[in-house]
Amino acid sequence: MKSFFESQLWPLKNRLYRFAMLWLKDRDKAQDAVQETMTKGFLQQQYLSSIENPTGWMVKTLKNEALQQIREAGKWGTMDEVGDRAMEVDSEVDFSQKTKMVFRFIEKLPERQKEIFFLREVEGLTHREMAAYLDLNEGQVKVELHRARKKLKSFLENYGK
């Protein structure tokens, strides 16, 4: 029989990795952040098995790890400011132009919209799952997704002009 960690937390690793990429724009740093988060999840698995939303806890831990890495890189700020201060998209040469285009758009979104948009478009989560990931209610998720897509429409209309 699989342990709680194996069945509930371990399968999150790929999603968490891509989520870390959203903030860090660097594969190695994202890998480190996920590794740290997974280790913490493993050590806290008894506690996590008793709480309602272990996924939300993992995402928060990952965010803190990402923030820590950004701070260590000499870019101080709160998570709300990370969007402005996180690693520059253009500096990462190993991303394709199309990937950079996505990151460039996401960078322009406010923090909450950024996360919701990413979880929906990249991870394909339902409203309920996104709410669980981010510890929000479904109504908030729908409103923020609507706003983000409205901005996407405008971004795509003006792209390349």
Partner 1 sequence: MENKHEELWDKYWKGETTLEEENMLFSEVEADQQGGSLKDFFSGIQAIRSEKPIAVQLPLPKQKYPWQKLAAVLLVFLTVTACWWGYKEYEQQQQEMAYQQVVEAMGKIQLNLRKGTSHLESMEKIKYLNSGVNWYDNNKNN
Distance CA 20, CA 11 (A): 15
Nearer residue to partner 1 within complex by CB, 78 or 97: 97
Minimum Å gap between C-beta 78 and partner 1 is 25
| DSSP class of 1 | -
Q: Which of 53, 121, 138, 140 binds partner 1 (CB under 8 A)?
A: 121
Distance CA 103, CA 117 (A): 11
109: contact with partner 1 by CB under 8 A: no
89: contact with partner 1 by CB under 8 A: no
Distance CA 134, CA 131 (A): 5
x/- track of binding to partner 1 for residues 132-151 (CB under 8 A): ----------x--xxxxxx-
24: contact with partner 1 by CB under 8 A: no
Distance CA 143, CA 138 (A): 9
Radius of gyration of the chain (CA): 16
Taking the CA atoms of 117, 121, 124 and 126 in sequence, report the sign of the dihedral they define: positive
159: contact with partner 1 by CB under 8 A: yes
Q: Which of 102, 119, 134, 136 binds partner 1 (CB under 8 A)?
A: 102
Q: Which of 99, 107, 108, 138 binds partner 1 (CB under 8 A)?
A: 99
Taking the CA atoms of 25, 26, 30 and 33 in sequence, report the sign of the dihedral they define: negative
34: contact with partner 1 by CB under 8 A: yes
Please, are residues 22 and 123 in contact by the beta-carbon 8 Å criterion?
no
Binding positions for partner 1, rule: CB under 8 A? 10, 13-14, 17-18, 21, 27, 30-31, 34-35, 38-39, 42-43, 95-103, 105, 121-124, 126, 142, 145-150, 152-153, 156, 159-160
